[in-house]
Structure 1
Amino acid sequence: MTLVNFRDPAALADPEGRWIRPGVLHRSAQPYPADDASIVEQLNAAGIRTIIDLRGEIEAEDTDWAQSLAAGIEVVAARVQPTDRRLEAAMKDMTTDEDLGAFYVLMAESAPEAVKLAVEAATRPGGVLVHCAAGKDRTGWLTALLLDLLGVPAEEIVADYARTTAALPQIWANLAERNRAALNDHAAGTFVVPRPLLEAPAGAMVAFLDLVQARYGGTEGLLAHCGVDAATVEAFRARAAATTAEVTA
């Protein structure tokens, strides 16, 4: 068993090593059904020493990362709740890829403490893995912000986000099995998942980056709004930028 949608954005977004050092940042979906020896081996092979778990409290199980924790890999719970009143309203009105991008901004704004904790965790030595449930939405916009801090061009950030499309069939199958009871409750009601949330459309990430620029003057402005100080931003750049020394082992 291995993590679904697992990748190092540097491998494809920056194969020439112009902006980000390989091995410092990885992304994936949540472990399914939980981690095991093969996933621990996968993480160790990638040099991952910290896992940033962006899932909300109702999504995470204590056993999800039990074997990784036992192997000495630290898990930082930076909880971005999947819904609240504003997010639910935004989902009901969501019809376009641009709406999904605006939804991502709203998610970041709704969880400033989690964003701050996640960026701080990304400054730690060794490889860092960012994940949520699907490894698409919360993982997508946080990864985008981190890549933007390193100067990765917007078109490469968008392309990295869209690469999740190939993994979506397996992601949705795993989520359906894991959350079967909750899905049955939804089926009994009237909630319909908006089409953009079921995809990883490039237009959503374009809209997200444009909105962050328009509303906050860029990534650093949004992170400052969430309480991330300049020293933390610089610590991440010092660790992850392509011009720095080797990742601390």
Structure 2
Amino acid sequence: MSLVNFRDPILGADPEGKRIRPGVLYRSAQPFPHADHTTLTLLGDHGIRTVVDLRGIAECEPADWAAAEAAGITVIAARMDPATDTIMAAMRTMTTAVDLGAFYLLLAEQSPDAVTAAVEAAARPGGVLLHCAAGKDRTGLVTALLLGLLGVPAEAIVADYARTGEALPQIFANLAERHPAALNDRAARGAAPAPLLAAPAEAMTVFLDLIRTRHGGSAAFLTACGTTADTLAAFRSKTSKEAIAC
């Protein structure tokens, strides 16, 4: 099976390609049941040379990206583990899309090393794929930070995030089969808060507002996480319309 929820978020952010170069950043759900020939073909067709895995270690299996690594694709583990006490406590009180947006901020704030590793990977030459389990929550917030770094309007970032809602039935079915203990599978079985079962636009709107009001925007937040100015500049340069393909 190929990757579910796979897309280039920059195409939606700048559909005419006037300012941002597409084909350098992609997002998806985790491979199911693992990366196979179809997955490798997809990665190759899109020039993807780096995969960033945002899942916690308990969510991963050795075979997930083994074939990709054997084919020379770099897989970087940027562990954004949802199973910490602080994050699980926030989940227990989550009831609305607003709560989900605040949860995204907490998850990002609690994972500075993972966020920095993801941005450093995104700045590497060639296409880069970001994914977590569903490709919605952790992937969504990191993608939003990267798009915000490029000056993409909030409404375009929100629209890209909300697109994941169309793929959730297939994503949850895959997770229910493979990961009985994973965060998003618990959502599929009804044991997680209702907002985690969807991709509500309001959640991403709230997250972006909080990044702006509490941290001064994506660039300031990423800098506080430990991302260097050189890395931010490298990602901006890579995605510039004037950038030379690597």
Matching residue of 1:226: 225
Structure 1 gaps, min length 5: none
Alignment of 1:175 with 2:180, yes or no, is: no
Q: Provide the C-alpha distance between the structure 2 equivalents of 1:245 and 1:211, rounded to a whole number of angstroms.
A: 31
Structure 1-normalised TM-score?
0.94
- Cα distance in 2 for residues equivalent to 1:73 and 1:147: 24
Answer yes or no: is the 8 Å Cα contact 1:112–1:227 preserved in 2: yes
Q: Distance in 2 between matches of 1:198 and 1:157?
A: 20
Is the Cα contact below 8 Å between 2:82 and 2:88 reproduced in 1?
Answer: no
Equivalence for 2:245 = 247
Percent identity over the alignment is 61
Aligned to 1:217: 216
Q: Distance in 2 between matches of 1:42 and 1:88?
A: 35
Contact in 2 for aligned 1:20/1:152 (Cα 8 Å): no
Identify the range of structure 1 (8-17 vs 51-60) with the bigger mean alpha-carbon deviation: 8-17
| Deviation string, structure 1 residues 212-249 (Cα, Å, up to 9, x no partner) | 0111111111111210111111111000123x22330x
In the other structure, the counterpart of 2:131 is 131
Q: Which moved more, 1:206-215 or 1:83-92?
A: 83-92
The secondary structure found in structure 2 opposite 1:75 is strand
Cα gap change, 1:59 to 1:181, in 2 (>3 Å): closer
CA distance in 1, matches of 2:11, 2:53: 22
Aligned to 2:57, what secondary structure does the other structure show? coil
Within 1, Cα distance between the matches of 2:16 and 2:182? Answer: 44
Q: Deviations over 1:120-176 (max 9, x none)?
A: 111110000000000000000000000111111110000000000110000000000
Q: TM-score, normalised by structure 2?
A: 0.95
Q: Which amino acid letter does the alignment assign opposite residue 244 of structure 2?
A: E
* Cα distance between partner residues in 1 of 2:167 and 2:17: 25
Aligned twin of 1:53: 53
SS at the partner of 1:119?
Answer: helix
Partner deviation per Cα, 1:12-69 (whole Å, 9 max, x = no partner): 2211113421100000000001010110000000100000100001111111001111
The equivalent residue for 1:64 is 64
Total equivalences in the alignment: 243
Alignment partner, residue 198 of structure 2: 199
1-side partners of 2:174 and 2:99: how far apart? 26
CA contact (8 A) 1:19 1:152 kept: no
> Which structure 2 residue ranges, 5 or more long, are not aligned?
none
Q: 1:41 to 1:197 in 2, by over 3 A?
A: same
Listed as ranges, the matches of 1:16-165 within 5 Å are 16-165=16-165
Equivalent residue letter for 2:15:
P
Hey, what's the Cα distance between the residues in 2 that align with 1:96 and 1:53?
A: 27
Q: State how far apart, in whole Å, the 2-side matches of 1:70 and 1:179 are.
A: 24
Q: Which residue identity is paired with 2:223?
A: A
SS of residue matched to 1:180:
coil
Code of the aligned partner of 2:224: H
